[in-house]
Amino acid sequence: MTSIQDKPSLPPSFRNLQILEVLASEGRPLTATEINAALGLPVPTIHRLVGNLEAEGFLSRHIDGRSYQPGPKLRQMMQGVIRFWHQNLPQRDVLIRLNQRLGETCNLSIPDGDAMLYVDRVETHWPLRIQLHVGSRVPLHATAAGKLCLSLINDGKLERYLKRAHLTAHTGQTITDPDRLREALRQIRQQGYSTDSEEFVPGMIAVAVPVLDRSGQLVATVSFHAPVQRLTLAEGLKHLPDLRAAAEELTQLI
């Protein structure tokens, strides 16, 4: 297969698109050196281009502080494309079926630096609901999806996150102590799912499971949330088999 650096010379303005193309094709955060392995540009050039893309919001730093991922401007573009094909996306069919079984709002989220990004959701039919729209970014330490993401990164990345993160108390139940959070993440890693018991929004519970690629790496989380007036956390955990079945369907689509 022809690599990007083997393609005929292109105008300099296309270099930025090539960088985004490499990032999209890999489907994971990449350092400037990893991006350049496909481009073969002079080292100062790749760092200048990546820096410009970050400054303009097309790239952002990953939680590890070294690699890059889609930034807010690129995410807006991505969301626009997703909305364009919204009704035909197979992943949405998975969420629709999950919503029909659970009767609660179901979400698909992806890691986005120091937060989780909602990329799709199917709302509950009940009038009492939590308003978190597609494109919302929610904190890692205070949400089911975010804690699940943190539980699956290696210890070095986790410690770097804990050193610089502001563990804001969104409610009285939010875990703000690093030691308590480490222990909670250890348990999440062992059990394979994560919960939110009014830790982000008062009166809201949530349960999340991972969506893994074929190599076992986290690419997204599938979750549901509900008001405690309608569903307790213990009752919500009974939906774990449905969540895991949906996650497996999404893995097959990936």
Q: What's residue 82's pLDDT? A: 59
59/53 Cα distance (integer angstroms): 6
Question: Mean pLDDT, to the nearest integer, of 12-28?
Answer: 84
| Token pair for 75 | 């995410």
* DSSP structural state of residue 58: S
Residue with tokens 């996650």: 247
Helix (H, G, I), strand (E, B) or coil at 97: helix
Q: Give yes or no for residue 7 having a pLDDT over 60.
A: no
195/246 Cα distance (integer angstroms): 17
170-174 CB contacts, 8 Å cutoff, 24+ apart: 170/139, 170/142, 170/199, 170/200, 170/201, 171/142, 171/198, 171/199, 171/200, 171/201, 171/202, 173/197, 173/198, 173/199, 174/141, 174/142, 174/199, 174/200
Helix runs in 56-205, H state only: 72-84, 90-102, 144-151, 155-164, 178-191
Tens digits of residue pLDDT in 38-55: 899 999 999 999 999 999
Domains in the chain, start-ordered, CATH in brackets? 4-72 (1.10.10.10), 85-253 (3.30.450.40)
Tens digits of residue pLDDT in 188-244: 999 999 999 999 999 999 999 999 887 788 889 999 999 999 899 999 999 999 999
Q: Give yes or no for residue 86 having a pLDDT over 70.
A: no
Tens digits of residue pLDDT in 51-75: 999 998 899 998 888 899 888 888 8
Q: Please enumerate in sequence order all residues whose Cβ is within 8 A of that of 162, keeping only pairs 6 or more positions apart, or say none.
A: 178, 181, 182
Question: Mean pLDDT, to the nearest integer, of 162-173?
Answer: 91
Q: What's residue 4's pLDDT? A: 52
Q: What's residue 129's pLDDT? A: 56
Q: Please enumerate in sequence order all residues whose Cβ is within 8 A of that of 201, keeping only pairs 6 or more positions apart, or say none.
A: 130, 170, 171
